[in-house]
Chain A
Amino acid sequence: MDQQQQQSAIQGAKVLMVGAGGIGCELLKTLALSGFHDIHIIDMDTIEVSNLNRQFLFRRSHVGQSKAKVARDAVLRFRPHINIRSYHANVKNPEFDVDFFKQFDVVLNGLDNLDARRHVNRLCLAADVPLVESGTTGFLGQVTVHVKGKTECYECQTKPTPKTYPVCTITSTPTKFVHCIVWAKELLFAKLFGDKNQDNDLNVRANKAASSSEQTEDIFERAEDEDIEQYGRKIYDHVFGYNIEAALSNEETWKNRRRPRPIYSKDVLPESLTQKNGSTQNCSATSDDDSATVSAMPLLGLKNPQELWGLTQNSLVFIEALKLFFAKRKKEIGHLTFDKDDQLAVEFVTAAANIRAESFGIPLHSLFEAKGIAGNIVHAVATTNAIVAGLIVIEAIKVLKKDADKYRMTYCLEHPSRKMLLMPVEPFEPNPSCYVCSKTPLVLEINTQKSKLRDLVDKIVKAKLGMNLPLIMHGASLLYEVGDDLDDIMVANYNANLEKSLSELPSPVINGSILTVEDLQQELSCKINVKHSVILVSRNLSVDRSLNFIYSSNQKCAESFRIGPLLSIHVRRFRHPLVIMFCHREEFDEEKEPEGMVLSGWTQSPATNGESASTSNNESAVDVTESSSGPEIASKKRKLSETQPENHKRETENVESEDDDDLVEIENPMTVSKKKRVA
């Protein structure tokens, strides 16, 4: 009987849950009710008030405690006899190695970040344990099944990474409110209250028109006895007035752009604020105020975080918040990083962003909205999490019964599509060019003379390839590794290597070199083939950036294209396993290639809404915030059921064939051809 088979599969199962938050609470509850009785759960977070609207296993009295532990205790209250083991830890910790994962029959993810998801994906592949992935944002949700060898792994289709912005957009030419937020948060707030030793682009631009860098430094440093309000106004005038005027002096920048207007405090605020608002002086007398509750808004009579403030109010908040930092939280200055739960920091950043927005003619936003953007807050409700949890358990049961034909990816939509609010889709077969689950070449175009090993490690190996504890070898020579068992000489050696350019390493990495990159914990290994050739892709040449590289997988064999008078692309196709081709590049387009990295051969994600984390759903939204991986419905890859033996043969034999190859998509007017797969 099918029921009995199902029951025995459930009862015999040992399940790992990663994440005890929104999805996790609902999932743990549903698993317990469904008869699962051996569940392990990992979560590194503690409970916050904003969790309580949906993470129903938690109460106000639990704030500050471990999510995994409290979730366990809550579920045991209505299912006292099941076995739940909780881990208050980061799933990326070494204790959760392949052997740890191997003990489970299925792994269920309820995570909120791409990084951890990729990590778990790799461990599940290494341990050969099926993975059920999921994500929700607002009313949208999805559940996917990943079984090694049978379906795509989580990384077969590229997931959109968090949006980053070109430095010049942030420092000089903002056009959207989010640019102003990033400026206020990463530059101004960091400069005023953060680590003084950190590089800060705010300096760079300020210096441009300054006669001496010394002069500029003085402005941000506050003298011992300098009046706080004076200091505040000085900063205000410098960043909103002087800096803007300096930027305006560069005509070229503003040829086709709206000119910002400089704003000076004398034009917006009354001469002295302390007369109007004597309470600030009183505040500084009491030193026993809890720093967490210090706030500018009440002092200014502002109560509603959803209210839109005008320029004057924003300016008042700016000065007041700055004053409060110096008056009440002096000790923290120099060590602060922006925290969305730090009310004063949020007030300051909102005000600063709004004043800048006003200057550039960008619409202002309320504190509530600004907080969402600055804090990358994901909007969330209980219902979607509950639905997704139900779907996860259903897939988990299919996996345990090894009912491969029934595996589905299920999308939870806000509005019906062809009458469906819950849309099941058959999973796709593994992507043969996925560098994670199949052994595929990667092409890396890099300036081997200028780029340092550090750039390769940070920007490619860790950030793009998602490796946690990398090891890099060139032939027999170990260029870099991390570990607890290294002696001081080795560590010093590796640190020295990091600062060298690739071509200057003890074992020089040049055109034609092959690198092996590994992460032992994830059991992932890649080979990188280095090729040094001149390449220029974009017509809009701009300032060379210190690290320039592109990489892609599977490029078409021996074709070159002329783009402009001096430009040509060499694109080569590889059938060798795990080869990354390096192609040297001098210049990158700052607007389109902000990181100086062009990832060719990766699926481009659709229009991102990354900046408006606080707005609710668009009609056609494919949600791109990290936690969701929104519905990717229009994929044209082959589904499991359509797989024919003949097709497999065709793939490996015919290297020259057009249709099943991944072609390079380079982001520029002369695109070679679009990728076949559409996200």
Chain B
Amino acid sequence: MKKNSLDKEVLLSRFSRLNLRMDGEELTEQETALYDRQIRVWGANAQRRLTKSHILVSGIKGTVAEFCKNIVLAGVGSVTLMDDSLVNEEALNANFLIPPDENAYKGKTVAEICCDSLKDFNPMVLVSVEKGDLSARSTEFFEKFDVVVIGYGSLATKKAVNEKCRKLSKRVAFYTVDCRDSCGEIFVDLQDYKYTKKKLEEKVECELNFPSFQEAVSVPWKPIPRRTAKLYFAMRVIEVFEENEGRKHGECSLLDLPTVLEIKKKLCEANSVSESLIPDSLLERLITGTIEFPPACAIVGGILAQEVIKAVSGKGEPLKNFFYYDAQDGKGVMEDISNSFTS
């Protein structure tokens, strides 16, 4: 795992202050005491790997704030935050990392404010801010990281970043997350992934092949099993709508419903499926529920963090490749969607 040489100096001074060994393989006494309860869950080896991992997070709203809190508490090596949007009333809603003090947050970006709060949760984790546009970054930029998480991203950004991650020789785990109203979607791409899992007291070596983001969202709808979560299809409609209209996450309202339904119609026709596949009521929920529902943020943010922890530690069966939560029916389901349906 490569480290940016500039960072290394910062890390060195910080680590020596905290009595850590840069080259040390063992956890320090401080780490063992702090992480005791979770080491009992996933073991010391997994904890060691976590301590060396670097996570990039872009797009911070309620769900991603929850995710960041979880991985900082878990003790990852570093978290790099990207979100240049300015703090406003709306940002305060489901994001408990932003203190409601206008004097404190005025003029600052969401990433900057969240960075300060997150550092507080665990001084052993390096939390920093990266400014600029994620989609404009070069492939080399992503090589610094072990995990990339895109929150509330546009279709174009998600595709572009995923492609860059896949180009690298080093495997970078790629996730997207999106929460609207009281629903949530997580996408996972671990490329070719080997991991260990426990089977009847024994440890078994397993391997999974994940489709790219591009492939996963372009799967023809017809062969997909009927019982698949409706949210998968609904989110694809929303993605197209936002791309066509040049909208960001949450920049929509009931007035957009006719446009959205038109897109749904076209997509269903193109895929030769009935329009009843996607309930209109669901689409309506997704475009009117612009504010995230805090309990759903906690749930989806929690699931996402568990997945990242699993991927970094190489331990435990990962979600493949979508996760959906809907507070209305209370289910949290995994959906495996790839071109294998057609073959």
Nearest opposing residue in chain A for B327, CB measure: A394
With A and B bound together, what is the CA distance between A415 and B43 in angstroms? Answer: 18
Give 1 or 0 for each of A303-344: 1 = CB within 8 Å of chain B CB: 011100000000000000000000000000000000000000
With A and B bound together, what is the CA distance between A390 and B74 in angstroms? Answer: 19
Nearest opposing residue in chain B for A421, CB measure: B332
Chain B nearest CB, measured from A84 CB (Å): 14
Chain B nearest CB, measured from A583 CB (Å): 41
Residues B35 and A53 in contact, CB atoms below 8 Å apart:
yes
Known A-B contacts A421-B303, A424-B330; A50 and B295 likewise in contact (beta carbons under 8 Å):
no
Residues A53 and B36 in contact, CB atoms below 8 Å apart:
yes
Residues B330 and A410 in contact, CB atoms below 8 Å apart:
yes
Residues A77 and B99 in contact, CB atoms below 8 Å apart:
yes
Chain B nearest CB, measured from A411 CB (Å): 10
Give 1 or 0 for each of B202-226: 1 = CB within 8 Å of chain A CB: 0000000000000000000000000
Q: Which residues of B contact A33 (CB under 8 A)?
A: 62, 93-94, 96, 294, 297
Q: Is A49 an interface residue (CB 8 A)?
A: yes
Chain B nearest CB, measured from A254 CB (Å): 29
Chain B nearest CB, measured from A61 CB (Å): 11
- Contact residue among A412, A422, A616 (Cβ-Cβ distance under 8 Å from B41): A616
Residues B94 and A381 in contact, CB atoms below 8 Å apart:
no
Q: Is A257 an interface residue (CB 8 A)?
A: no
Q: Is B323 an interface residue (CB 8 A)?
A: yes
Residues B302 and A384 in contact, CB atoms below 8 Å apart:
yes
Residues B294 and A56 in contact, CB atoms below 8 Å apart:
no
Residues B298 and A26 in contact, CB atoms below 8 Å apart:
yes
Chain B nearest CB, measured from A172 CB (Å): 28
- Contact residue among B35, B73, B331 (Cβ-Cβ distance under 8 Å from A422): B331
Residues B38 and A53 in contact, CB atoms below 8 Å apart:
yes
Give 1 or 0 for each of B290-324: 1 = CB within 8 Å of chain A CB: 00011111110111011001000000110100010
Chain B nearest CB, measured from A365 CB (Å): 13
Give 1 or 0 for each of A77-97: 1 = CB within 8 Å of chain B CB: 111100000000000000000
User: Which residues of A261-314 are within 8 A (CB) of B?
Assistant: 304-306
Residues B26 and A50 in contact, CB atoms below 8 Å apart:
no
Q: Is B3 an interface residue (CB 8 A)?
A: no
The interface-forming segment of A127-135, A154-162, A371-379 is: A371-379
Residues B99 and A78 in contact, CB atoms below 8 Å apart:
yes
Residues A54 and B37 in contact, CB atoms below 8 Å apart:
yes
Residues B38 and A56 in contact, CB atoms below 8 Å apart:
no
With A and B bound together, what is the CA distance between A412 and B300 in angstroms? Answer: 12
With A and B bound together, what is the CA distance between A390 and B300 in angstroms? Answer: 9
Q: Is A598 an interface residue (CB 8 A)?
A: no
Residues A389 and B33 in contact, CB atoms below 8 Å apart:
no
Known A-B contacts A387-B303, A619-B199; A379 and B41 likewise in contact (beta carbons under 8 Å):
yes
Known A-B contacts A52-B34, A304-B26, A377-B37; A390 and B296 likewise in contact (beta carbons under 8 Å):
yes
Known A-B contacts A382-B70, A393-B295; A421 and B333 likewise in contact (beta carbons under 8 Å):
yes
Q: Is B44 an interface residue (CB 8 A)?
A: yes
Question: What's the count of A-B pairs with C-beta under 8 Å?
Answer: 158
With A and B bound together, what is the CA distance between A394 and B330 in angstroms? Answer: 9
Question: Which of the listed residues B73, B94, B198, B305 has the most CB atoms from chain A within 10 Å of its own CB?
Answer: B73
Q: Is B325 an interface residue (CB 8 A)?
A: yes
| Chain B interface residue bracket vs A | 35 or more
With A and B bound together, what is the CA distance between A166 and B100 in angstroms? Answer: 58
Q: Which residues of B contact A368 (CB under 8 A)?
A: 39
Nearest opposing residue in chain B for A55, CB measure: B73
Residues B69 and A56 in contact, CB atoms below 8 Å apart:
yes
Residues A305 and B198 in contact, CB atoms below 8 Å apart:
no
- Contact residue among B93, B298, B323 (Cβ-Cβ distance under 8 Å from A389): B298
Residues B299 and A387 in contact, CB atoms below 8 Å apart:
yes
Q: Is B23 an interface residue (CB 8 A)?
A: no
Nearest opposing residue in chain B for A408, CB measure: B330
Q: Which residues of A contact B302 (CB under 8 A)?
A: 382-384, 386-387, 390
Q: Is A592 an interface residue (CB 8 A)?
A: no
Q: Is B42 an interface residue (CB 8 A)?
A: yes
Known A-B contacts A389-B298, A619-B199; A49 and B34 likewise in contact (beta carbons under 8 Å):
yes
Chain B nearest CB, measured from A620 CB (Å): 9
Residues B323 and A56 in contact, CB atoms below 8 Å apart:
no
User: Which residues of B114-136 are within 8 A (CB) of A?
Assistant: 120-121
Q: Which residues of B contact A613 (CB under 8 A)?
A: 40
- Contact residue among A304, A379, A412, A618 (Cβ-Cβ distance under 8 Å from B38): A379
Give 1 or 0 for each of B20-33: 1 = CB within 8 Å of chain A CB: 00000010000011
Give 1 or 0 for each of A394-433: 1 = CB within 8 Å of chain B CB: 1000000000000010101011100111111000000000
Nearest opposing residue in chain A for B336, CB measure: A419
- Contact residue among A56, A372, A391 (Cβ-Cβ distance under 8 Å from B295): A391
Known A-B contacts A77-B99, A381-B37, A422-B325; A386 and B298 likewise in contact (beta carbons under 8 Å):
yes
Residues A394 and B74 in contact, CB atoms below 8 Å apart:
no
Q: Which residues of B contact A29 (CB under 8 A)?
A: 96
Known A-B contacts A56-B69, A380-B38; A420 and B120 likewise in contact (beta carbons under 8 Å):
no
Q: Is B261 an interface residue (CB 8 A)?
A: no
Nearest opposing residue in chain A for B181, CB measure: A3
Q: Is B245 an interface residue (CB 8 A)?
A: no
Q: Is A614 an interface residue (CB 8 A)?
A: yes
Question: Which of the listed residues A50, A78, A390, A412 has the most CB atoms from chain B within 10 Å of its own CB?
Answer: A390
Residues A56 and B299 in contact, CB atoms below 8 Å apart:
no
User: Which residues of B209-268 are within 8 A (CB) of A?
Assistant: none
User: Which residues of B1-54 are within 8 A (CB) of A?
Assistant: 26, 32-44
Nearest opposing residue in chain A for B36, CB measure: A50
With A and B bound together, what is the CA distance between A165 and B260 in angstroms? Answer: 64
Residues A378 and B305 in contact, CB atoms below 8 Å apart:
no
Q: Which residues of B contact A34 (CB under 8 A)?
A: 293-295
Q: Which residues of A contact B90 (CB under 8 A)?
A: none
Q: Is B155 an interface residue (CB 8 A)?
A: no
Question: Which of the listed residues B120, B296, B325, B330 has the most CB atoms from chain A within 10 Å of its own CB?
Answer: B330
Q: Which residues of B contact A386 (CB under 8 A)?
A: 66, 69-70, 298-299, 301-302, 305
Q: Is A242 an interface residue (CB 8 A)?
A: no
With A and B bound together, what is the CA distance between A575 and B199 in angstroms? Answer: 47
Q: Which residues of B contact A56 (CB under 8 A)?
A: 69, 73, 121
Known A-B contacts A56-B121, A382-B73, A421-B334; A30 and B295 likewise in contact (beta carbons under 8 Å):
yes
- Contact residue among A305, A383, A416, A614 (Cβ-Cβ distance under 8 Å from B70): A383
- Contact residue among B69, B98, B295, B335 (Cβ-Cβ distance under 8 Å from A394): B295
Chain A nearest CB, measured from B307 CB (Å): 9
User: Which residues of B98-114 are within 8 A (CB) of A?
Assistant: 98-100
With A and B bound together, what is the CA distance between A556 and B40 in angstroms? Answer: 46
Q: Is A59 an interface residue (CB 8 A)?
A: yes
Q: Is A139 an interface residue (CB 8 A)?
A: yes
With A and B bound together, what is the CA distance between A394 and B326 in angstroms? Answer: 11
Residues A618 and B198 in contact, CB atoms below 8 Å apart:
yes
Question: Which of the listed residues A78, A424, A619 has the most CB atoms from chain B within 10 Å of its own CB?
Answer: A78
Q: Which residues of A contact B121 (CB under 8 A)?
A: 56
Q: Which residues of B contact A378 (CB under 8 A)?
A: 37
Give 1 or 0 for each of B263-298: 1 = CB within 8 Å of chain A CB: 000000000000000000000000000000111111
- Contact residue among B299, B305, B309, B323 (Cβ-Cβ distance under 8 Å from A391): B299
Q: Is A577 an interface residue (CB 8 A)?
A: no
Residues B34 and A53 in contact, CB atoms below 8 Å apart:
yes
Q: Which residues of A contact B70 (CB under 8 A)?
A: 382-383, 386
- Residues of chain B touching chain A, judged by Cβ–Cβ distance below 8 Å, are 26, 32-44, 62, 66, 69-70, 73-75, 93-94, 96, 98-100, 120-121, 198-200, 293-299, 301-303, 305-306, 309, 316-317, 319, 323, 325, 327, 329-335
Q: Can you list 19 contacts pairing A with B, beta carbon distance less than 8 Å?
A: A33-B294, A53-B75, A56-B69, A56-B73, A306-B44, A377-B36, A377-B40, A379-B38, A382-B73, A382-B302, A383-B70, A386-B69, A386-B298, A387-B303, A389-B298, A412-B332, A416-B334, A420-B331, A617-B198
* Shortest 9 CB-CB contacts between residues of A and residues of B: A422-B332, A424-B330, A390-B298, A379-B40, A33-B294, A390-B295, A387-B302, A390-B299, A386-B302
A78-B99, A619-B199 known; 7 new pairs, CB 8 Å cut-off, are A26-B298, A33-B297, A77-B99, A380-B37, A386-B66, A386-B70, A408-B330
